[in-house]
């Protein structure tokens, strides 16, 4: 009699494989600042594989965007610049190790108050990440739809997809809306993808409504360029004139929404999400 494994056993093994793969990726970039680092791995008595990673005690960007919509906090351009510049630096370091994140969303951007009282920005959840060589392209569509670049939607992409996703984060921080469909809610992934592929940003209207500076509008358009070959590079992002405000303004991130006692977090077997509410 042939034995057919149950779907639950298959899913458990699939998630186990994903976590082992994520652990290997985190070891590869263990010297990168600005990520949640892998502390250890272990198997529980039931055979499940677990990751033990840094805990961040000041919540996520997702939390802060929710608070911003409720008018509990606001983001100044200086604060946004601090977040984006830190994340761009982190991505440069990851890309130098040939690791592409591919799921940059507000839920995967965390904040931590260190022992000196300074706030750090951390990129987490490398479950969708890939290792790619120079010139290599990826073909499997993944990530979270609202943050996918046009080339990811088309199914042929590389490290430049991370720049696009960071551009979506920039747009969210500046406007609290997604690019390409600011004034209406898309009800399906197909509609979201069609908007990303075909619609343009009305930067003039955004600048007037949100009272944004010309430099940040320029950076936003260059990060959200639909043609990956013409899109700004991360190195160019880091040297963009907009970041001069970091030297003239406070550059301090907004007050944290969540504060917990620092501790380590066990990330156990879990299915990967594909859609987030933000």
What is the set of active-site residues? 103
Give the helix/strand (H/E) hosting 93. helix 77-96
SS3 of residue 111 by DSSP: strand
- In sequence order, what are the residues at sequence separation of 6 or more whose Cβ sits closer than 8 angstroms to the Cβ of residue 7? none
Rounded CA separation 75/57 (Å): 20
Exposure string over 36-71, b if 16+ CB within 10 A, otherwise e: bebeebeeeeeeebbbbbbbbbbbbbbbbbbbbeee
Distance in angstroms (rounded) separating the CA atoms of residues 74 and 96: 34
- Tokens 């490398």 map to which residue? 126
């Amino acid at each position: 009699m042939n034995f057919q494994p149950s779907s639950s056993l298959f899913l458990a093994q699939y998630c186990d494989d994903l976590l082992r793969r994520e652990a290997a990726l985190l070891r590869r970039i263990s010297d990168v600042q600005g990520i949640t680092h892998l502390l250890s791995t272990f198997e529980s008595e039931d055979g499940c594989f677990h990751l033990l990673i840094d805990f961040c005690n000041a919540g996520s960007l997702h939390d802060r965007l929710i608070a911003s919509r409720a008018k509990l906090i606001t983001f100044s351009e200086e604060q946004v610049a601090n977040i984006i510049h830190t994340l761009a630096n982190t991505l440069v370091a990851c890309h130098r190790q040939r690791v592409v994140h591919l799921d940059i969303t507000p839920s995967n951007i965390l904040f931590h108050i260190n022992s000196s009282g300074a706030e750090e920005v951390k990129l987490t959840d490398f479950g969708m990440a890939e290792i790619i060589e120079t010139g290599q392209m990826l073909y499997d569509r993944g990530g979270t739809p609202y943050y996918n670049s046009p080339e990811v939607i088309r199914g042929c992409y590389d490290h430049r997809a991370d720049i696009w996703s960071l551009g979506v984060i920039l747009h969210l921080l500046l406007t609290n809306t997604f690019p390409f469909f600011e004034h209406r809610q898309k009800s399906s992934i197909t509609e979201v993808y069609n908007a990303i592929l075909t619609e343009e940003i009305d930067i003039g209207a955004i600048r007037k409504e949100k009272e944004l500076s010309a430099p940040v509008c320029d950076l936003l358009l260059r990060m959200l360029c639909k043609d990956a070959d013409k899109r700004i590079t991360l190195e160019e992002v880091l040297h963009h004139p907009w970041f001069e405000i970091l030297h003239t303004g406070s550059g301090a991130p907004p007050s944290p929404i969540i504060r917990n006692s620092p501790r380590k977090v066990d990330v156990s077997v879990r299915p990967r999400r594909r859609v987030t509410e933000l």
